Amino acid sequence: MPRLMLTDERWGILYKAMLSSGRIYDKPADRITIEGILYRMRTGLPKLVDHYTDMD
């Protein structure tokens, strides 16, 4: 399984669209964040909300 799903070409297109919408700022971690979202969508990782919110 490849570590990155987006090719540099596709990332460039998406990045330009995101910048023009004003929704992101030029941060180095933007691509990793998007890759993480795609990974979660691809693998169907379950939510662990209860695990992280119930810290009593």
For the chain, 56 residues long, the average pLDDT of each consecutive 10-residue run is 80 88 76 86 71 56
For residue 33, the 8-state DSSP code is H
Angle at 23 between CA 25 and CA 33, to 5 degrees: 70
What is the structure's pLDDT at 13? 92
Task: Give the closest residue to 13 by CA, choosing from 39, 34, 37.
Answer: 34
- The overall longest dimension of the chain from CA atoms, in Å, is 46
Is 27 part of any domain? yes
**Total-model pTM:** 0.62
Structural domain that includes position 49: 8-53
Is 2 part of any domain? no
How many domains does one find in the chain? 1
Is 41 part of any domain? yes
Is 3 part of any domain? no
31 vs 5: CA distance, rounded Å: 10
The owner of tokens 């969508």 is 41
Residue ranges with strand state E in the chain: none
